[in-house]
């Protein structure tokens, strides 16, 4: 049995691993297994002799013969024409608080219509969404949800933005891009949640149509990226630099994993680099690790480790440093760097109090960077 037939058979037999939508969306859209994938032409590839292609969307630059797929599993060479298999194929669609992404300085207190397709261009040993990111599109339930339908659903559910999230939106680039264009036409913003493995040209084009990007910076050592991410640190840093140089709002999340990327010297190097390359106003979230996927051998991050990381980043001059996945911790709140008053009080994804006036501290008038309205 060839690979394609095996996958079709597996999908038909109900090998369905995908994360499901919220009940409201379950009523609206029929999520189900599908061998009916898209064949929309990919936007960043080069044709090579003998019907080969080179994908130039992400730093892997996969070179593929006819019928082969790239590392991400969602792009295929069909007789020298390179296609995306997941255009309009949402394997997850939910209405989430924007704080869940997390974005803390981007439209706080609003909801974001959050979509994903299958696949990813790295393989993190600690992935939280491996059921959809580390599988082929045939292996997840998905709904046919074209860009205009995503926008309509976002408007209908009262969302202020659309988030491209859960898996890795770089691998569903064309779907994300067209949805962002359609969203902007209808007054909705777009927020990208990514690992940052993307080449400069597609990234610069994307930055023209989206409003915010959150990058998961998974460590500040290349060895960690090679061993636990199956990726590289350098292109992620280049992507952060490119985003910071543009007009799009940027936040960074650093998942602190005990013994692997929690050395204060590494945190200090990272914080110093962020300050110099992206500026001191970029919010940095130190997020608590929970054991999962292929990394169940380590305990959750001690809160004291997160607090130490935060203290180091503040010492290095970062002005907005948060602790995530620790409900009720004071470092969920936004504090004015001018007068020290608490301006935004949060509890997990809830905004308990928002005390800003025209993007400024109402007490000392210090400007608080972000997208507030």
Residues of this chain that interact with ligand SF4 (CB under 6 A) are: 55, 57-58, 60-62, 70-72, 75, 121, 171
Q: Residue with CB nearest ligand SF4?
A: 70
Nearer of residues 52 and 148 to ligand SF4, judged by Cβ: 52
Nearest approach, Cβ of 165 to ligand SF4 (angstroms)?
A: 17
Nearest approach, Cβ of 71 to ligand SF4 (angstroms)?
A: 4
Do 85 and 75 meet the contact criterion of CB atoms below 8 Å apart?
yes
Nearer of residues 71 and 286 to ligand SF4, judged by Cβ: 71
Nearer of residues 72 and 159 to ligand SF4, judged by Cβ: 72
Which residues does residue 47 pair with via DSSP β-bridges, in sequence order?
53
Spatial separation of the C-alpha atoms in residues 209 and 248, rounded to whole Å: 9
Spatial separation of the C-alpha atoms in residues 194 and 243, rounded to whole Å: 12
Q: Are strands 141-144 and 32-33 parallel, antiparallel or unpaired?
A: antiparallel
Do 91 and 119 meet the contact criterion of CB atoms below 8 Å apart?
no
Spatial separation of the C-alpha atoms in residues 134 and 129, rounded to whole Å: 8
Nearer of residues 149 and 171 to ligand SF4, judged by Cβ: 171
* Residue labelled with tokens 């080969």: 52
Which residues does residue 214 pair with via DSSP β-bridges, in sequence order?
193, 251
Nearest approach, Cβ of 242 to ligand SF4 (angstroms)?
A: 17
Which residues does residue 254 pair with via DSSP β-bridges, in sequence order?
286
Nearest approach, Cβ of 168 to ligand SF4 (angstroms)?
A: 9
Nearer of residues 47 and 352 to ligand SF4, judged by Cβ: 47
Nearest approach, Cβ of 134 to ligand SF4 (angstroms)?
A: 13
262-286 as b/e, with b when 16 or more CB fall inside 10 Å? Answer: beeebbbebbbbbbeebebbbbbbb
Nearest approach, Cβ of 201 to ligand SF4 (angstroms)?
A: 13
Nearer of residues 58 and 267 to ligand SF4, judged by Cβ: 58
Element of type H or E holding 204? helix 200-207
């Amino acid at each position: 049995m060839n690979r394609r037939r095996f996958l079709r058979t597996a999908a038909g037999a109900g090998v369905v691993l995908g994360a499901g939508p919220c009940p409201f969306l379950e009523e609206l859209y029929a999520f189900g297994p599908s061998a009916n994938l898209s064949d929309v032409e990919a936007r960043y590839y080069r044709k090579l002799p003998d019907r080969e292609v080179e994908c130039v969307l992400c730093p892997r630059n996969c070179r593929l013969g006819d019928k082969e797929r790239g590392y991400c599993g969602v792009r295929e060479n069909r007789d020298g024409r390179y296609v995306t298999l997941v255009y309009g194929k949402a394997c997850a669609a939910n209405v989430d608080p924007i704080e869940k992404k997390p974005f803390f300085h981007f439209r706080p207190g609003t909801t974001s219509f959050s979509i994903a397709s299958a696949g990813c261009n790295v393989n993190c040993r600690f992935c939280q969404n491996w059921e959809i990111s580390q599988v082929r599109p045939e292996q997840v339930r998905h709904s046919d949800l074209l860009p205009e339908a995503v926008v309509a659903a976002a408007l209908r559910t009262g969302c202020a933005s659309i988030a491209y999230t859960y898996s890795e939106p770089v691998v569903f680039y064309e779907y994300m891009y067209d949805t962002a264009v359609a969203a902007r036409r209808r007054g909705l913003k777009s927020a990208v949640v990514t690992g940052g493995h993307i080449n400069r040209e597609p990234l610069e084009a994307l930055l023209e149509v989206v409003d915010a990007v959150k990058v998961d910076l998974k460590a500040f050592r290349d060895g960690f990226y090679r061993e636990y991410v199956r990726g590289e640190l350098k292109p992620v840093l280049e992507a952060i630099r490119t985003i910071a140089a543009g007009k799009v709002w940027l936040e960074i999340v650093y998942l602190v994993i005990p013994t692997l990327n929690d050395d204060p010297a590494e945190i200090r190097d990272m914080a110093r680099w962020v300050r110099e390359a992206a500026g001191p106003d970029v919010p940095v979230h130190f997020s608590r690790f929970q054991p999962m996927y292929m990394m169940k051998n380590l305990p959750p991050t001690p809160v004291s480790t997160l607090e130490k990381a935060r203290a180091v980043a503040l010492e290095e001059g970062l002005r907005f440093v948060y602790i995530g996945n620790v409900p009720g911790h004071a470092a969920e709140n936004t504090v004015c760097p001018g007068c020290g008053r608490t301006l935004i009080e949060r509890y997990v994804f809830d905004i308990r109090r928002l005390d800003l006036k025209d993007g400024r501290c109402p007490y000392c008038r210090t400007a608080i960077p972000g997208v507030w309205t």
